[in-house]
Amino acid sequence: MISESARMSSTAEARFRVQAPNSTPRATAVIALDAAGEAVAGRLARSHWARATFLTAAGPDLDGQIAAADLVVLLAGPGGHAHAAPAVGQACRRHQVMTTGFIVGAGAASESALSKTLAQVRPWSLMVVIANDDGYIDDMLRALRA
């Protein structure tokens, strides 16, 4: 008997597969919510991205940038300084833009400091990643087609 995996790899089944990769990158707005997030956003902005913009929560026309995005990535460090999270989150909700939050610089942070930031970011993010190594954020942005 042929296994399911072997059957799905057959020529007959290949016609049902998508034959080309999704070539449309997402319009991604990466928004720093605090100083730690700004440091990471500044580093990320120096790399090549398809359609990513890097902003601060206090930046001009933030609402317009969010409205034009397919995805908003929130960056905040441990310690509970992500006070702009509700305003950014409400704009994302208003414009029906998907959100992902990253807690940056978490490797050396205390549980208390992480908890403070998680309490601020979690209500406004569909997914929250605690990044012990900030290099992980680069990989995630590429995976999200930023």
Query: Hey, what domains does the chain have and what are their CATH numbers?
Result: 25-143 (3.40.50.1440)
Give the rounded percent of residues in the chain with a pLDDT score beyond 70.
Answer: 84
Whether residue 77 contacts residue 35, with contact meaning beta carbons closer than 8 Å, is answered with yes
Tell me the average pLDDT across 54-62: 92
**In this structure, what are the phi and psi dihedrals at residue 62, rounded to the nearest 5 degrees?**
-60, -40
User: Between 127 and 23, whose confidence is greater?
Assistant: 127
Whether residue 124 contacts residue 102, with contact meaning beta carbons closer than 8 Å, is answered with no
Mean pLDDT for the chain overall: 89
pLDDT at 27 exceeding the cut of 60: yes
Copy the structure tokens of residue 67: 């409205």
Least confident of 11-25, 90-104, 126-140: 11-25
Q: Quick: pLDDT tens for 114-123.
A: 999 999 999 9
CA distance 93 to 86: 10
